[in-house]
Amino acid sequence: TMLPLLLLLLATAHGLQELQYVPTLAGTKLGGRTTGSTFVLEQPRCIFDSTTSGTDIWLVVASSTATVSFTDSVQPGTPQWAFQNFPANTSAYLTLRATLLHYPCPKASGEITVLRVGSETVCANNTSRPTCNGPLPSPGPYRVKFLSLNGSTPVAETRWSQPITLRTARQLPSGPEAGGRRSAGMIAITSILSILLAVLLAVLLAMLAFCGSDPCGSSSIFKPEAASIRRYNTHHVYDQPAARL
Amino acid sequence: MAKTDNGIRIFQGLLILGNVVIGMCGIALTAECIFFVSDPYGLYPLLEATENDDIYAAAWIGIFVGFALLALSILGIVGVIKSNKTLLLVYIILMLITYAFEMASCITAATHRDFLTPNLFLKQMLERYQKSETDNNNDKWMTNGVTKTWDNLMLQNQCCGVHGPSDWQEYTSAFRMTHNDADFPWPHNCCVLDARGSPINLDGCKLGVSGFYNKNGCYGAISGPMNRQAWGVAWFGFAILCWTFCVLLGTMFYWSRI
């Protein structure tokens, strides 16, 4: 009878409350949901209850392939959990320290309640700030969870999130930037204008070759002065004989 | 005789009318091309940096062709009224030369319009916007031009990038070399700015909350004016040339009969 009691005591002494919440990325309406070195999580509102009221709620960021175990003592600020040592010398780090007061419940409607992981650039290389929320060094993938610590004793934790992969910038493919497809309008303009110019040149050459300086065709109706001069000449010829008489 | 007299008069009248229309169209073409060359939307530096600014060359040619058309139409009217063969021959030959120039302008405008794709401007923006190390004076001039033009564009049209702010995330750029991704997921000019030119909510802008940053792409604001310019020069010139074709044919017929 003592053994079950002892086991029960051990379990309560361990006391790590496992919450079923899975941390998620913020909604898709945010344009900066994931960038090259940051990502945005939904705040864990109404997840932690009053048993965690005096504790610090930390965010644990780990590479998704690493296995991170929480032993009895998790000391934030030690090199084992420092941002600057991630991912070379440690597989996870702690950041974004908060208390239950930062995540009030219920969430006010219409508010955007998010956490931006990776927004602090000033302390990224400052080893005296091991809990810096610095930009993530590689596209990942990463997994996160929220951990509630009383000093260095874990009190409650959420589940691991789905793997989060960040965006990678690529080189712009040098596609058909110059010499795009020929549009129909351009082809129409070029061909029609060329034909018209050719016709004009042909008619000009024909005009110069065949008509030269004499009027073409039989009728010279287009030159009114020529007609009147001829009439004048005719008048003269008939006048002469009359005058001689 | 009276009937053929009327025929002469009508034909002369038609030619004079044709030349009047050509003269007026010449003035309109000059005005239109001056408007385009004056670059009211401030987009010329973008084209200069692509080294593909021939639609501006087409507009410049259009200015001079317009003047030439005006002068030649007056010569044509005088030639038709006096029925002088020499004048009309000079008119025809000079008109053909002007015709050739205007044809070059139209084809240039239409062809180079086809080069103005989103990818072209995207490449320019990514390579030159806020580029810090410039090779020579020419490079520096073009970089400054591109940067200032994009800043103006983003401010006046409330837009960001060519397709959207995601251009800055999806592709590597000269901007990214000097500005880290966490502080500048996109340039701060993409944020909604207040009267003094600083973002109204920098955190909201970096998060990508609509209302604090410009979500739309600027391609519409670039391609709209450029298309209007290219097609304005090309199609108006085409229309003038079709009309000029008819008038020239009529003048050549008239010349051969006087």
Q: How far apart are CA A178 and CA B214, in angstroms?
A: 28
Please check the confidence at residue A215 and state whether its pLDDT lies above 90.
no
Closest residue on chain B to A191 (Cα): B107
B79 vs A74 pLDDT, higher one: B79
In terms of domains, do B9 and B104 share one?
Answer: yes
Which residue in this structure is represented by tokens 């450029």?
B226
Please check the confidence at residue A227 and state whether its pLDDT lies above 60.
no
Percent residues over pLDDT 70 in chain A: 77
In a domain, A220, yes or no: no
Q: In this complex, do B96 and A215 lie within 8 Å of one another by their Cβ atoms?
A: no
Phi-psi region of A96 (alpha: psi -120 to 50; beta: other; left: phi over 0): left
pLDDT value, residue A236: 52
In terms of domains, do B26 and B123 share one?
Answer: no
Please give the helix or strand (H or E) that residue A139 lies within, else none: none
Please check the confidence at residue A229 and state whether its pLDDT lies above 70.
no
What is the extent of the structural domain holding A70? 20-158
Q: Which residues of B119-139 are buried (b: 16+ CB within 10 A; e: fewer)?
A: bbbbbbbbbbbbbeeeeeeee
Closest residue on chain A to B251 (Cα): A204
What is the extent of the structural domain holding B132? 118-219
Give strand pairing partners of A93: A61
Cβ neighbours of A174 in B, within 8 Å: 123
- What is chain A's alpha carbon radius of gyration, rounded to the nearest angstrom? 46
Q: In this complex, do A200 and B215 lie within 8 Å of one another by their Cβ atoms?
A: no
pLDDT value, residue A130: 87
Q: How far apart are CA A44 and CA A21, in angstroms?
A: 8
Which residues contact residue A4 at a Cβ distance below 8 angstroms, ignoring those fewer than 6 apart?
none
Per DSSP, the three-state class of B185 is coil
pLDDT in tens, A77-99: 888 888 888 888 888 888 888 88
In terms of domains, do B109 and B143 share one?
Answer: no
Q: How confident is the model at residue A11 (pLDDT cuts 50, 70, 90)?
A: very low
B196, A29 in Cβ contact below 8 A? no
In a domain, A179, yes or no: no
pLDDT value, residue B67: 95
What's the mean pLDDT in A31-60? 87
Number of domains comprising chain A: 1
A188 vs A10 pLDDT, higher one: A188
In a domain, A203, yes or no: no
Q: B174 to chain A, minimum CA–CA distance in Å?
A: 11
Q: In this complex, do B169 and A169 lie within 8 Å of one another by their Cβ atoms?
A: yes
Q: How far apart are CA B197 and CA A40, in angstroms?
A: 27
For A154, list phi and psi in degrees, rounded to 5. -70, 130
pLDDT value, residue A220: 52
In terms of domains, do B123 and B72 share one?
Answer: no
What's the mean pLDDT in A127-138? 88
In terms of domains, do B138 and B207 share one?
Answer: yes
User: pTM (2 decimals)?
Assistant: 0.80
Q: How far is CA B21 from the centre of its chain?
A: 24
In a domain, A184, yes or no: no
Give strand pairing partners of A92: A62
In terms of domains, do B124 and B190 share one?
Answer: yes
Weakly modelled stretches of chain B, pLDDT under 50: 1
Cβ neighbours of B185 in A, within 8 Å: 32, 35-36, 38
In terms of domains, do B209 and B128 share one?
Answer: yes
Alpha helices, DSSP H only, in chain B? 2-37, 44-50, 54-82, 85-113, 118-128, 137-157, 166-170, 174-178, 202-207, 219-257
Rounded to the nearest 10 degrees, how much is the dihedral formed by the CA atoms of A129, A133, A137, A139?
160
In terms of domains, do B7 and B105 share one?
Answer: yes
pLDDT in tens, B61-97: 999 999 999 999 999 999 999 988 899 999 999 999 9
Mutation target among A123, A174, A186 for the B interface, most CBs of B within 10 A: A186
Cβ neighbours of B5 in A, within 8 Å: 224
pLDDT value, residue A175: 65
Q: In this complex, do A182 and B96 lie within 8 Å of one another by their Cβ atoms?
A: no
B160 vs A104 pLDDT, higher one: B160
Rounded to the nearest 10 degrees, how much is the dihedral formed by the CA atoms of B176, B177, B182, B188?
-50
pLDDT in tens, A167-211: 998 888 876 545 567 788 889 999 999 999 999 999 999 988 887
In terms of domains, do B175 and B199 share one?
Answer: yes
In a domain, A186, yes or no: no
Q: In this complex, do A190 and B110 lie within 8 Å of one another by their Cβ atoms?
A: yes
In a domain, A152, yes or no: yes
In terms of domains, do B112 and B231 share one?
Answer: yes
Q: Which amino acid is at A171?
A: Q
In terms of domains, do B108 and B136 share one?
Answer: no
Cβ neighbours of B110 in A, within 8 Å: 183, 185-186, 189-190
In a domain, A110, yes or no: yes
Q: A30 to chain B, minimum CA–CA distance in Å?
A: 5
Q: In this complex, do A30 and B209 lie within 8 Å of one another by their Cβ atoms?
A: yes
Percent residues over pLDDT 90 in chain A: 16
Q: Nearest by CB to B234, which of A29, A30, A189?
A: A189
pLDDT in tens, A141-174: 999 989 888 888 888 888 889 999 999 988 888 7
Number of domains comprising chain B: 2
In terms of domains, do B108 and B230 share one?
Answer: yes
Its ipTM equals: 0.83
In a domain, A163, yes or no: no
pLDDT value, residue B205: 92
CATH code for the domain of B194: 1.10.1450
Q: Please, what is the average pLDDT of chain A? A: 79
Q: In this complex, do B171 and A171 lie within 8 Å of one another by their Cβ atoms?
A: yes
